[in-house]
Structure 1
């Protein structure tokens, strides 16, 4: 009985080994497979093939024409350690697309058209050490999106559309300050720390310099326009967000409908030190980037 059981076991081992060999010889269309390195490299694709070897350790899909991913595109690939998606046309990532890639060590997502990241997109990637998100169209990232990346040592975030006028930027700003040694830029053949190189859209201001205290005077969210009147005087108050920083110095015209055309006043915004009012009296010294101008009828 034992001999019979041993023969059956040996037969299944040989059969499974043959299946694995056959799997690696039958490579997906447009792809090259290396069974020794357990790697798959694909070119000229518009979609991720559904017959890629599930035991692959390296999947190189860089510089294809992928515009979207199926939520199950990488399901079952639990041994994958490298995933290259750089240089495609991805505008979004489906929630959970990486959840089964628990062994993943490196992910390249740079050079796409990503406009946002789903919450929890990297939560299962606790072994990830390397992540590129540079050269996309990201304006912010979800609260806590990087918090599960306990093994991360390198991340690239530059050349995005970081919206520093939005309260949503505050998580990223703080995360970069705390993890400055991990935020790197590729130059001269290697990655080197450059946390200040992650800059706000339209300016050279570093994202890590944006804080609630020096940016959002009234706290988040900011109010873009606020009107206030009192019996003693007719007052127009307009609050401008940090977008005003993008052109400096800037001239702003304020007009209250009760004023005559000859009574229009100008308020010049100075960004180099503190905000003050020109022509009219100085209302108050306001923290940089949050501007309040009050115009009163003379």
Structure 2
């Protein structure tokens, strides 16, 4: 009985091995498969194949013509540790498209046409150590977009159109060793740049150039100038009126412009003497008018006095 059970077990193992082998020999159209490396590479595609091997660990979709993705394009590929979507024509990422890739270690999204990222797009990728977003058209990042990537070691954000990053954008990246930030439109005339400036000053050894990976914290420069972002403070620019980063986030939305901030500051710092003078004039003018009307001064006199602009305002307009 024991020998019979052993033979049955061996038979099933061989059968399952054969099924798996056959699975990898039937590669998706336009793709090549390597069953030993559990790797799939596809070229010349406009859509992600829906019959990619479920046990694949590597999927290379680089150099294709992908312009959009189905929200469930990778939901059956939960074993992937590597995914490259670089050098395609992606203009947007659907929310939840990466939610099932809980084992993913490396994600390439470089050289696409992404202008924005959905909120929480990377939240399920808690094992991710490498993320590349180079050469897209990103203009902004959602608040907390990297907060769940606590294992991330390398982040490429260079060559986009970023003007700033959200407050605390990198604070949860405790394992981060390398970040690329050059080639963006960093707006050093906005209070929103202050978080990035302070973060670079405190993490200079992590700032790399986009060429050979040399450390260069001064190489991240302001749009239109060669001034280093890390030199920008609220004291050494016209942003002297900027609130601290914490105050700014607590009292105003992230989209508050420098003009709005300065307007508030002007209202708050109006000279007290001017306020006092205005109040004194108002009280005096009211008293003057009351004296004129209670003493029954003739209307002729009032009209003569009214030729003086200020008296016209405070007397004729106020006349009962």
Same-fold status (TM-score > 0.5): yes
Q: Distance in 2 between matches of 1:15 and 1:76?
A: 29
Are 1:131 and 2:128 an aligned pair?
Answer: no
Deviation of residue 205 (structure 1)?
Answer: 1.0
Q: Which runs of 4+ in 1 moved over 3 A?
A: 1-37, 224-231
Match of 1:41 among 43, 60, 64: 60
Mapped contact 1:23–1:53 kept (Cα < 8 A) = no
Match of 1:91 among 98, 111, 115: 115
Deviation of residue 192 (structure 1)?
Answer: 0.8
1:210-230, Cα deviation, whole Å (9 max, x unpaired): 112223223336415959695
1:78-129, Cα deviation, whole Å (9 max, x unpaired): 1111111000000111111111112111111010001111111111111111
Deviation of residue 76 (structure 1)?
Answer: 1.1
Q: Distance in 2 between matches of 1:72 and 1:12?
A: 37
Instruction: Name the structure 1 match of 2:184.
Output: 160
* Secondary structure, counterpart of 1:83 in structure 2: strand
Q: Distance in 2 between matches of 1:12 and 1:122?
A: 45
Instruction: Name the structure 1 match of 2:91.
Output: 67
Match of 1:113 among 127, 133, 137: 137
Structure 1: gaps (5+ residues): 234-298
Q: Distance in 2 between matches of 1:159 and 1:192?
A: 15
Mapped contact 1:59–1:82 kept (Cα < 8 A) = yes
* Secondary structure, counterpart of 1:223 in structure 2: helix
Instruction: Name the structure 2 match of 1:214.
Output: 236
Mapped contact 1:156–1:185 kept (Cα < 8 A) = yes
Q: Distance in 2 between matches of 1:121 and 1:6?
A: 52
Equivalent residue runs for 1:129-278 within 5 Å: 129-187=153-211, 190-215=212-237, 216-220=239-243, 222-223=261-262, 226=266, 230=274
Mapped contact 1:30–1:44 kept (Cα < 8 A) = no
User: CA 1:79–1:26 in structure 2 vs 1: closer, same or farther (change >3 Å)?
Assistant: farther
Normalization by structure 2: what TM-score? 0.62
Q: How many aligned positions are there? A: 231
* Secondary structure, counterpart of 2:95 in structure 1: coil
- The structure with the largest strand share of the pair is 1
Q: Which has the higher contact order (CA 8 A, sep 6+)?
A: 1
Q: Distance in 1 between matches of 2:25 and 2:69?
A: 18
Q: Distance in 1 between matches of 2:96 and 2:18?
A: 27
Q: Distance in 2 between matches of 1:186 and 1:180?
A: 15
Structure 1, 64-73 or 46-55: larger mean CA deviation: 46-55
Deviation of residue 23 (structure 1)?
Answer: 6.5
Q: Distance in 1 between matches of 2:13 and 2:171?
A: 42
Mapped contact 1:33–1:41 kept (Cα < 8 A) = no
Normalization by structure 1: what TM-score? 0.67
Instruction: Name the structure 2 match of 1:273.
Output: none
Mapped contact 1:24–1:53 kept (Cα < 8 A) = no
* Secondary structure, counterpart of 2:169 in structure 1: coil
| RMSD after superposition | 3.1
- The structure with the largest helix share of the pair is 2
Structure 2: gaps (5+ residues): 38-56, 244-257, 278-320
Q: Distance in 1 between matches of 2:235 and 2:2?
A: 76
* Secondary structure, counterpart of 1:59 in structure 2: strand
Deviation of residue 69 (structure 1)?
Answer: 0.4
Mapped contact 1:114–1:138 kept (Cα < 8 A) = yes
